[in-house]
A and B are shown apart, each in its own frame.
Chain A
Amino acid sequence: GNSVTQMEGPVTLSEEAFLTINCTYTATGYPSLFWYVQYPGEGLQLLLKATKADDKGSNKGFEATYRKETTSFHLEKGSVQVSDSAVYFCALSVRHTGTASKLTFGTGTRLQVTL
């Protein structure tokens, strides 16, 4: 079956520090990979995605590269801000038929950025 493993939190960083949140996956077929973010009091939002091997997804200064050889999709940001404090979820989907596919999520990593 499909599964996603991501590093446990919480991760606490000072503002402007470098961020890495590790994510590895197991999937049957060829998955698309995603990072979702949940800010306090808000719903899940798509942060970035990559749909094939070696693709790099990027948004709001965050990046993640789809590494098929290591089955990984680590999230990185060069300089975090207090406003990045949130819970980050790694997820995958495997398209079977049609254009819609269910998402399989990791357990989430809470990031706390302090001044």
Chain B
Amino acid sequence: GAGVSQTPSNKVTEKGKYVELRCDPISGHTALYWYRQSLGQGPEFLIYFQGTGAADDSGLPNDRFFAVRPEGSVSTLKIQRTERGDSAVYLCASSSQGTANYNEQFFGPGTRLTVL
């Protein structure tokens, strides 16, 4: 596709349930990021993939959060035993690999997760 896509756009779940959020990056982008944006806050970094491997997962809040990117393209963010505090907009971004000092991150529209 032309841009980063995320599905679903909205997800409502009950406390304690498991959820999966999907991100389709821009074709050819090797770097993929997940961020979480709580109401009234800026996005906070969760995890970054370079290809298939998680190069930096320092932003994952605890072991209930896990993400994969098995073929170096689509990524899935998985949240186990959801809590009300997990409610937020989950953003995905991708960028190309290059030699520039900074490679622009292109953001998807986000998945709004609501945990009841």
Q: List residues of chain A with CB under 8 Å of any chain B CB.
A: 4, 32, 42-46, 49, 51, 89, 91, 93, 95, 98-108
With beta carbons under 8 angstroms apart, the residue of B4, B97, B102 that contacts A101 is B102
Q: Residue B80 at the A interface, CB < 8 A?
A: no
Assembled-state Cα–Cα distance A99/B96 (Å): 9
Please count the residue pairs between chain A and chain B whose beta carbons lie under 8 angstroms apart in the complex.
66
Asked if A102 contacts B101 (CB within 8 A), the reply is no
What CA separation (Å) do A15 and B17 show in the bound complex?
48
A46 to B94 Cα, complex, angstroms: 13
Residues facing A in B34-87 (CB within 8 A) are: 35, 40-45, 48, 50, 55-56, 59
Contact of A100 with B43 in the complex, beta carbons under 8 Å? no
Interface of A is mostly: loop
Residue of B nearest to A104 (CB): B45
Given contacts A91-B42, A98-B50, A107-B41, contact A51 B101 (CB under 8 A): yes
Q: Is the CB of B102 within 8 A of A32?
A: yes
A-B interface, 6 closest residue pairs, ranked by CB to CB distance from nearest:
A105-B42, A100-B31, A44-B107, A102-B45, A43-B107, A43-B109
Residue in B closest to A6 when the chains form the complex, CB atoms: B42
* Complex contact A44–B43 (CB within 8 A): yes
Size category of the B interface is: 20 to 34
Known: A44-B91, A49-B102, A51-B102. A98 touches B55 (CB 8 A): yes
B100 and chain A: residue at smallest CB distance: A99
Instruction: Report the separation of the CA atoms of residues A99 and B107 in the bound assembly, to the nearest whole angstrom.
Output: 17
Q: A43-B109, A46-B104 are in contact. Are A102 and B42 (CB under 8 A)?
A: no
Distance, CA A108 to CA B38, complexed state (A): 12
Quick check: B110 and A43 within 8 Å, CB to CB? yes
State A106–B107 Cα separation when bound (angstroms): 16
**25 A–B contacts, CB within 8 A, in A order:** A32-B101, A32-B102, A42-B109, A43-B107, A43-B110, A44-B43, A89-B42, A91-B42, A93-B102, A95-B101, A99-B97, A99-B98, A99-B99, A99-B100, A100-B55, A102-B45, A102-B56, A102-B59, A103-B45, A105-B43, A105-B44, A107-B40, A107-B41, A107-B42, A108-B40
